[in-house]
Chain A
Amino acid sequence: EAQVTQNPRYLITVTGKKLTVTCSQNMNHEYMSWYRQDPGLGLRQIYYSMNVEVTDKGDVPEGYKVSRKEKRNFPLILESPSPNQTSLYFCASSSSGRGNLGANVLTFGAGSRLTVL
């Protein structure tokens, strides 16, 4: 089954304790992205990657890091989490569609709910 898999689904942590949320897709997609969802703010893009070793900032990258060493994986790293990073996080992927990326449908993971105390 074609899917985007995120882990963990739920996590409670404390301020300053480094954590990684993993994301893996099995569709050979070039494009991957991380979003956070907050009430009243919708989805905001954190980072995205056009392909292996190519990443770029989205709208709210502060406090986050990413890497894209393999095509299928795109982990989100919080080096020193703070309470304002408490949120629901989604990873998504799509094909690059002959370069016309904006026209392609995103496949989303089920989400990772993070609480930082």
Chain B
Amino acid sequence: AQSVAQPEDQVNVAEGNPLTVKCTYSVSGNPYLFWYVQYPNRGLQFLLKYITGDNLVKGSYGFEAEFNKSQTSFHLKKPSALVSDSALYFCAVSGYGNNRLAFGKGNQVVVIP
């Protein structure tokens, strides 16, 4: 069965500094990897996904993520964080022919003005 680890409960970063949210995964075969974001009192919103191709994936709101097969990682990054990026971020993994999506426990990102 697939699984995701998001090792940090909370990530604090100063506004304007680079933001990184870590994710490692486990799945049989080639992975499909996703990042979703949850703002307060809202449902999850899709940010970006990796299916195949270029290891660097660009998504919404200036976010990007790098797929690293050897390290089984898919870290989310943003070059310059905004206060409005403060939210809960979820990494998720699935696989070819797999109808299930496994989510990590989420990372709270706090961007300090």
Contact = CB atoms under 8 A, between A and B. Distances in A.
Interface stretch (B39-47, B62-70, B79-87): B39-47
Interface string B25-37: 0000000101010
Q: Is the interface of B mostly helix, strand, loop or mixed?
A: loop
Contact of B49 (A41, A43, A105): A105
Nearest to A43: B103
B109 to A, nearest CB: 15
Interface in B67-106: 90, 94-101, 103-106
A110 B45 CA distance: 10
Interface string A28-52: 0001000100001111110010100
A86 B1 CA distance: 26
Contacts of B98: 101-102
A6 to B, nearest CB: 8
Given A42-B106, A43-B90, A106 B44 contact: yes
Given A42-B106, A43-B90, A102 B101 contact: yes
Contacts of A105: 34, 46, 49
Contact of B43 (A56, A90, A101, A103): A90
Given A90-B43, A108-B43, A108-B45, A103 B94 contact: yes
Interface in B11-33: 32
A111 interface: yes
8 contacts: A42-B4, A42-B6, A44-B103, A48-B99, A48-B100, A102-B94, A102-B100, A106-B44
4 closest cross-chain pairs (CB), A and B: A102-B94, A108-B43, A42-B105, A43-B103
Interface of B: 4, 6, 9, 32, 34, 36, 41-46, 49, 51, 90, 94-101, 103-106
Interface of A: 4, 31, 35, 40-45, 48, 50, 56, 58, 90, 92, 99-103, 105-111
